[in-house]
Amino acid sequence: DKVYNTILAQTGYKQFNVDQAMLQMYLDSVLASRPPSLGNPVNKSTVLFSVGQSTKIVEDLITYSITNRYKTDGSGLKPFNELNEEFKRNAVMEYYRAHLEEFNEEFNLQMKELKDGNLLFDIMMREVWSTTQSDTTGQKTFYDQNKSKYKWSYSADAVIFYCGDDATAK
């Protein structure tokens, strides 16, 4: 909870003023495949909250609820408040993970280093390795000029005997 509250503050979470009772009525109607009650100010485009540059609307809550409205132990539906809070937590954490380089300087530096490394690798591949791979004449000339460096010295002198049994070997 402490980490989540810190992330909540970092991401710039902002709750919009939505009547929770009306939201629950609308959600219950939609999930039960019934038309929402007349006069309900909540609709699928109603803005619930924003996280950073992302805005979550009722339609996002409906999509989340369709998959996550049942308790994991199979004992039935989750209460509206629990489902709504879970949706909020999930949206905040998802935004945080997707924008981690904005919130964590070390991660940002590591990502930049990785991008720079990939860029360097790509340049080396195009400018050095690909051209030398296809330059067989250049490779042969280089080998001929440095032939003495490519000689393998003997590493051992050995005589190998094969014997049919231990007595003969001794």
| pLDDT exceeds cutoff 80 at 131 | no
Q: Which helix (H) or strand (E) holds 21?
A: helix 20-31
6: confidence class by pLDDT, cuts 50, 70, 90:
confident
d(CA 13, CA 55): 10
User: How many CB atoms are closer than 10 A to CB 8?
Assistant: 17
102: confidence class by pLDDT, cuts 50, 70, 90:
confident
Across 7-18, average pLDDT? 90
Which pair of structure tokens corresponds to residue 41? 């100010």
Residue 152: per-residue pLDDT: 81
Residue 28: per-residue pLDDT: 93
Q: Does residue 150 contact residue 143 with C-beta atoms inside 8 Å?
A: yes
**Residue whose token pair is 């970092």:** 10
Cα-based distances in Å from 43 to 22, 23, 38, 58: 10, 8, 11, 7
Q: How many residues does the chain have?
A: 170
Q: What is the pLDDT of residues 72-96, one digit of tens each?
A: 888 899 999 999 999 999 999 999 9
**Residue whose token pair is 């810190």:** 6
Q: What is the pLDDT of residues 25-46, one digit of tens each?
A: 999 999 999 998 888 999 999 9
The rounded mean pLDDT for the chain is 89
Closest CA to 29 of 55, 49, 58, 56: 58
